[in-house]
Amino acid sequence: MTTTLITGANKGLGLETARRLLEAGHTVYAGMRDLGSGDAATDLGAIPVELDVTDDASVAAAFAALPALDVLVNNAGIAGTSSGVDDLDVAAMESVLQTNLVGVVRVTQAALPLLRRSANPVVVNVASGLGVPRFLQDPARVESHVLAVPYTAAKAGVITLTVQYAKNLPGMRVNVCDPGYTATDLNGHNGHQTVTEGTDAAVRLALLGPDGPTGELHDRHGRIAF
């Protein structure tokens, strides 16, 4: 049995990823800051786990409750409060980086002892096309219209740290995905993709075998060149 932990799994992309991996036969632990928001995950058959990616004690307690771990999906993230440089300050930057970037490191580091015991350890980080500089500069892409700094910087960081984790952990499959512009709470449900379409890449990467790629960025259509 494959044991999977997904952060931010009480709604949106995380919840849909949980649903699809449960269908694939995984035992899924659904990480969330507030267990009171876990009814949807419980209804699917996932096991809710209190997990705040910004809090060391919360993360440690969550992993202490896991019997094993084969797949980690770092999905938790926030949009932040800043939409451009005029409303940008250090507090806004720090808040997004702590959740979307530092949180990935905090959770992954805590997961490593369990992942190292797995026969097929897999890490999937959820980034965004907003973390790809050439997308931000291409007027033909929706990402180019976004002016926000914290979210884009954090997701660029997630892509880079994925490459570095993959180099440091050659026995694991460590990849990162771009869900695409998906309708979720994060964007006021303005995305043109469904959550199922938005989780295609994450699910595919979560199901990789030991001979699968590592250190790569994928969207639902396949690999994206950095």
Q: Can you name the residues that pair with 176 across neighbouring β-strands?
A: 125, 217
| Residue spans of beta strands (DSSP E) within 16-170 | 27-32, 47-50, 71-74, 122-126
Is 151 among the residues known to form the active site? Answer: yes
Q: Kindly state the DSSP code that residue 136 receives in the 8-state scheme.
A: H
Q: What is the DSSP letter of 172?
A: S
* d(C-alpha 87, C-alpha 90), whole Å: 10
| Nearby residues of 221 by Cβ (< 8 Å), 6 or more positions away | none
Q: Quote helix, strand, coil % in the chain, to nearest 5.
A: 45, 15, 40
Q: Minimal CA–CA distance to 101: which of 153, 41, 42?
A: 153
The CA distance from 126 to 201, in Å, is: 9
Q: Which residues contact 149 (CB under 8 A, 6 or more apart)?
A: 82, 84, 85, 88, 93
Q: Write down the catalytic residue from 29, 151, 165, 181.
A: 151
Which amino acids are annotated catalytic? 151
